[in-house]
Structure 1
Amino acid sequence: MTTSAPNLAGPLAGIKVLELGTLIAGPFCARMLAEFGAEVIKIEAPEGGDPIRQWRVLKDGTSLWWSVQARNKKSVTLNMKDERGRAIARQLALEADIIIENYRPGVLEKWDLGYEQLKAVNPATIMVRLSGFGQTGPMKDLPGFGAVGESMGGLRYVSGFPDRPPLRVGISIGDSVAALHGVIGAMMALRHRDATGGRERGEGQMVDVALYESVFNLMESLVPEYDQAGVIRERTGGALPGIVPSNTYTTRDGDNIVIAGNGDAIFKRLMLAIGRIDLAGDPQLARNDGRVPRTAEIDHAIQSWCDTQDIDGALAVLKAADVPSSKIYSVRDMMSDPQFLARDMFEQHHFPDGTPVKLPAISPKLSATPGHTKWMGPALGQHNDEVLAALGYSAQQIAAFRQDKVL
């Protein structure tokens, strides 16, 4: 049996996306569509562009993050304070299959680029709107960054240790989760549009993504537990509350190890592996609801065993017992790990000066139409001439736009 070579055009080849927004949520949403073949045109301010170009670690004045966040996108600079810039953006919006934006509600309406304004001309318009609090409600006009969404959505409250203030995850998780909700919404809206007549006659819609709601969507059983039992989930450090044992422990060489022995059969194998035959055979501990009241005892038994093991030895024992476990990886660990390498989770590229650089590979992995990096994040305005020429503007008109600082 033979399999055909993967199609690197991507499953979204032929889909046009306009990205109006900066920083993380909107651009990450558009990035994923670009990685799977959509033509993404990113609108940036002529002066400085997207602020993420200067965030975190820089090379030659540009963020290394930018090389990932903007890969496969076309950069077009437009002065949105100039009516000619707004007119060009409107042309691009009316030609797009999907528009992604993360301004405060009302900004696009001032520019004649709001969803209802575009829908009146093109009923097939799909607009993904990412904002702190959504397009409705008493907080819709307030600024809402990812940190605010994580706090209001419940994630910060349960993160950290009970005797200390809440902690944040070390990445912009609220923005990224919202972006993923935007991608899901865009794909469902595109499916509906195509099922109702396609680009010419289909029904578009607005995808309204609020950062706090995206985080809230991850919060498992928080609501029914409170509604029915008055339970407010609190911070539990490295443990997963109510699911025992699932915690972080420390080995004798100072490494941290996650051990998830919370399945009933797994718990028994774990106890036998660490020499606690008494706990393995205790009928009260045979099910999770019996283990929860004795969480401290079980965690103490596991930690006492970890005190006698180095990280490699502990992992070997747990692997032999078929107990889910892992060292907590740094990026250094990832980049030398056989699993990451076997799955081709790093891509080799080059900066314009020839310097090699590794980027994270694209996820998820599709067997027939995988994602593909065509180019790293573009220079500011790199695609101005190409995109405007495709809209019908002459070289002279483009030069005049540039002279008048429209571009």
Structure 2
Amino acid sequence: MKKGILEGIVVLDLTRVLAGPYCGMLLADMGATVYKIEVPVKGDDSRAFGPFKNGESVYYMNFNRDKIGCTLNLKSPEGKELFKEMVKKADVVIENYRPGTMEKLGLGYDVLKEINPRLVYGAVSGFGHTGPYHQRAGYDIVGQAMGGLMSTTGWPGGEPTRTGTPMGDVLGGLNLSIGVLAALLHQRMTGEGEKVDVSLVDSVVSAMTNINMIYLATGRIPERIGNRYESTYPYDSFKTKDDSVIIGAGNDKLYGKLCDLMGEPELKTDPRFTAVKDRVANHVTMKEMVEKWTMQYTVDEVADLLNAAGIPGCPINSIDRVTRDAQIAEARNMFPEMDHPVAGKMRLTNNALKFANESADPSRPAPTLGQDNDEVYGQFLGLDAKKISQFKTSGVI
């Protein structure tokens, strides 16, 4: 197995689609032994999500690399008992069923903690396991809508917009990972297990920090403002000869550098723009003045001038540019190549973790459905080949 900073941690991953699998992916990338447990025959819903390469879902393969794959029917009595045996040997269980589903199966946290008092149980769902909405179904778009993100994303006068990536799910997966790691630390210090309950909606609300505070502090409801930032300016996209460039002059020092770079040092003492709050209040005029300068150059020329002066600035990269960028793709290895037994060679999206002494880069392709049944039930649980064959025939695994 892959070594890493979480080597020796055993995780049972019952999750499907994105938020839960993203958590399992991070734990696996960091070296935990993650057993991806799927429904026999069908597997994770995302196996049917495109795009596909040689018939295999690229969506599934990205979020389930570095995991050991097995199938198990948790609705069958034999399947429940097999899972309980696995729980005895595990450190962590993660699931993203609708709240109450695991309890209906007889495998809720109250049952599992009696089997393994040290167990860390992580659950991510649309609305969490408490409250009047806890039984509601929830996908990423529900999290973004209910949590307020869509209401503040887009352009003035336009429709509320979900982010281009499923940010609600990603935030849910990240928060579940953080909670599981904190509970593991608690487990190591006290010997006690814990339940981690994460909601997609809560995850989005938590990420809306400064936006929420505008309303809580002032009563003003934040609206869609495009690429501009509510808290400082110039911090926006600006037109150039060929496209738009990003400038993030987020404090007085950087603003002063920008004024000098534009050849207008007098703007540093202009009372309309002296302080951050003044530049925010007069952002329309400020944008016009910055664009008089940026329109003289191309995006890449402006970006080069900004970075040479120590001012944050960059092009708005399309994904093809991201995957070719020397910093992102090469130096930070954000698109490592992997050889899948069916899909063949392909590039994945890496996690953002870099450690000084351990690798968190993916090293094992996602499993085909039930690929590791013999390893899981033979080596991990110690069943003989005859028993495993019987379970396969009867549809238990």
- 1:256 aligns to 2:244 (yes or no): yes
Of 130, 141, 147, which aligns to 1:136? 130
User: Residue 387 of structure 2 corresponds to which residue in structure 1?
Assistant: 397
Separation (CA, whole Å) in 2 of partners of 1:216 and 1:359 = 29
Query: 1:185–1:295: structure 2 CA closer, same or farther, 3 Å change rule?
Result: same
User: Residue 332 of structure 1 corresponds to which residue in structure 2?
Assistant: 320
Note the 1:2-401 alignment, pairs <5 A: 9-196=3-190, 202-253=191-242, 255-340=243-328, 341-352=330-341, 355-389=344-378, 390-401=380-391
Separation (CA, whole Å) in 1 of partners of 2:44 and 2:2 = 28
The amino acid across from 2:261 in the alignment is A
2:87/2:116 contact within 8 Å kept = no
Shift of 1:52: 1.2
The amino acid across from 2:135 in the alignment is D
Q: The residue matched to 2:348 in structure 1 has which SS? A: strand
The amino acid across from 1:310 in the alignment is T
Separation (CA, whole Å) in 1 of partners of 2:282 and 2:305 = 24
Q: The residue matched to 1:313 in structure 2 has which SS? A: helix
The amino acid across from 1:163 in the alignment is G
2:54/2:343 contact within 8 Å kept = no
Question: Gaps (5+ residues) in structure 1?
Answer: 1-6, 197-201
The amino acid across from 1:164 in the alignment is G
Could you list the runs of 4 or more consecutive aligned residues of structure 1 that deviate by over 4 angstroms after TM superposition? none
Aligned length: 395
Separation (CA, whole Å) in 2 of partners of 1:345 and 1:81 = 39
Percent of paired sites with the same residue: 35
Query: 1:19–1:324: structure 2 CA closer, same or farther, 3 Å change rule?
Result: same
User: Residue 4 of structure 1 corresponds to which residue in structure 2?
Assistant: none
Separation (CA, whole Å) in 2 of partners of 1:96 and 1:204 = 11
How high is the TM-score relative to the length of structure 2?
Answer: 0.95
Separation (CA, whole Å) in 1 of partners of 2:264 and 2:251 = 17
Query: 1:216–1:206: structure 2 CA closer, same or farther, 3 Å change rule?
Result: same
Shift of 1:8: 6.2
Shift of 1:275: 2.8
Query: 1:268–1:162: structure 2 CA closer, same or farther, 3 Å change rule?
Result: same
Query: 1:353–1:29: structure 2 CA closer, same or farther, 3 Å change rule?
Result: closer
Moved more, 271-280 or 385-394: 271-280
Question: Gaps (5+ residues) in structure 2?
Answer: none
Q: The residue matched to 1:360 in structure 2 has which SS? A: coil
